[in-house]
Amino acid sequence: MRTQSPSNADTGQQGVLVENALQPGVAWGVMTVDATGQAVEYNSEAERVLRLAGMATVSPGSALPAALDAAANEARAAGKICNRRVTLPTPGNGDLVLDVAAVPLGAAADSNGAILLFRDASTGARYEPSLRRLDRLASVGTLSASMAHEIKNALVAIKAFVDILLEKNPDADLAGIVRREIGRVDSIVSHILNFSMAAQPSFARVDLHRVLDHALRLVQHRVGHKEIVFEREFLARTAGCHGDDHQLEQAFVNILFNAVDAIESTGTLRICTDLLGEDSAAPGRDGSGKCRIRVRISDSGSGISPENMSRIFEPFFTTKSNGTGLGLAVTRRIVTEHRGTMHVESQPGKGTTFVVLLPAAEPDAG
């Protein structure tokens, strides 16, 4: 590029800026402008950025966008390097954010041009709110761990009291639910405390039908004023799998609560199971050749809109006013950790079906 030699004390710094900007792999636009603010010479990155900013043609003599022209004028007037971040409107694609360094060519008294160095900072600017949110979430995580420790201590006394209470007032159905849910809360709190160590599920042989029954009974007690018909059809000949029963119950409870929320006032919620791959010649086995248990949870609710279908498993994505957007993300993680898969089928106005596939355990010998 053709430039004039600066005569001020910033010569060394100007040279370093230009040299760094021209390093391979550094996406800086470099442009020389004359005293009237018109382009003289420029590289391909400068042309690309200015076209993004809406300049139909970039050629010698082209006038600069006002924000870049202002940066060049400031550098010429001050006789020293000017660094700033500028925002350029783009045609229909939002704003273009640029980091700009303007280097004067000559002293402040001279009416010379300037070198403009600029790079696209739009991506970083777009992600700044997400980074701030992650920082807040990290603080929330620290607070949650502290709260979990206190909750775990309180659960010891609560469990002891509930055990005594249920001994004096035995109700088999209620006792089973209460005792199991206290155990599940204790397990969840323990996972929060161990989150930084990425605690793995504790695998044992699990009866998936039993897990589904517990999850269904829990959700049935929390439907409120809604009139929902619950249907279950367990067709899987064997429902044994290797897994963590508390985590699997949490996964299915999350799906069931989503189904309940999707039903406005009246509707049907249905759970079905079957076994895929019993016939070795039929499709349905997983990559290791094992049969798979298929769980289908269907509701007659409002369905999921096409634009939301690809996002429902994203952490923090929710369409509920009081939702966290974590339920389905946690569910998918649990299913994946159990070497399973899941997907969703839905049509707006016709309901939704979540399909979970888990490897079936080998039948017990004898």
Domain 202-365, CATH among 3.40.640.10, 3.30.460.10, 3.30.420.40, 3.30.565.10: 3.30.565.10
d(CA 65, CA 55): 8
Q: Domain extents for the chain? A: 8-16+27-126, 202-365
pLDDT tens digits for range 202-224: 889 999 999 999 999 888 877 87
Q: What percent of the chain clears pLDDT 90, i.e. is strictly above it?
A: 23
Residue 191: per-residue pLDDT: 59
d(CA 332, CA 338): 10
Domain 8-16+27-126, CATH among 3.40.50.1820, 3.40.50.150, 3.30.450.20, 3.40.50.360: 3.30.450.20
User: Between these two residues, 298 and 174, which has the higher pLDDT value?
Assistant: 298
Buried b (16+ CB within 10 A) or exposed e, 228-243: beeeeeeebebbbbbb
- pLDDT beyond 60 at 109: no
Q: What percent of the chain clears pLDDT 70, i.e. is strictly above it?
A: 70
Q: Has this prediction a pTM greater than 0.75?
A: no
pLDDT tens digits for range 150-207: 677 677 777 777 777 777 776 656 666 777 778 777 767 765 665 444 456 788 999 9
Residue 121: per-residue pLDDT: 77
- Among 6-15, 49-58, 194-203, 219-228, name the most confident range: 219-228
- CA-to-CA dists, residue 303 to 82, 238, 270, 314, angstroms: 55, 31, 15, 18
pLDDT tens digits for range 321-331: 666 667 788 88
How is residue 244 written in tokens? 């963590």
- pLDDT beyond 80 at 364: no
- pLDDT beyond 80 at 136: no
Residue 345: per-residue pLDDT: 94
CB-neighbour burial class of residue 354 (10 A; exposed 0-12, middle 13-18, buried 19+): buried
Instruction: Count the residues in the chain.
Output: 366
